[in-house]
Amino acid sequence: MNLNKKDLISKIENAWGSVKYPGDKKIFTPDSYDNEGITDYFAGTTWKGHSIENLRRHSAAISSFFTPIAWHYWLPAYLIAENDLDTPHFYSSQEWKLLEYFYNVSKVQ
């Protein structure tokens, strides 16, 4: 599938358009210590409008500390940001292959 960045963002927005906010108490895994401010940063936000810098600062959230429902909710923020980078930051090539398989997305060049 060959999409330009605008089309890919539109596809992501359409796919996640009806996903409900998980709630502030369902952001961070309950058995971990949030010393990176993940809950404070994401609480009350949508998955739209996050800068690459802020997502980098909170990259442990997507890789380790989000609850499954929070991971699903904020995944599009990281997918959109990853496509704006010249080199992958949030996902390894193996993780992208899994995302492409499960979500049928392609990294746009």
Evaluate whether residue 16 is within a structural domain. yes
Evaluate whether residue 109 is within a structural domain. no
Evaluate whether residue 80 is within a structural domain. yes
Distance between CA 27 and CA 25 in Å, rounded?
6
pLDDT tens per residue across span 60-70? 888 788 899 99
Global pTM? 0.74
Evaluate whether residue 108 is within a structural domain. no
Evaluate whether residue 32 is within a structural domain. yes
Which is nearest to 22 in space by CA: 38, 54, 48, 44? 44
- Number of structural domains the chain divides into: 1
What is the residue range of 78's domain? Answer: 5-103
Evaluate whether residue 87 is within a structural domain. yes
pLDDT tens per residue across span 11-62? 889 999 999 999 999 999 877 777 788 999 999 999 999 988 888 888 888 8
Distance between CA 26 and CA 21 in Å, rounded?
9
Evaluate whether residue 91 is within a structural domain. yes
Residue 85: the pLDDT is: 59
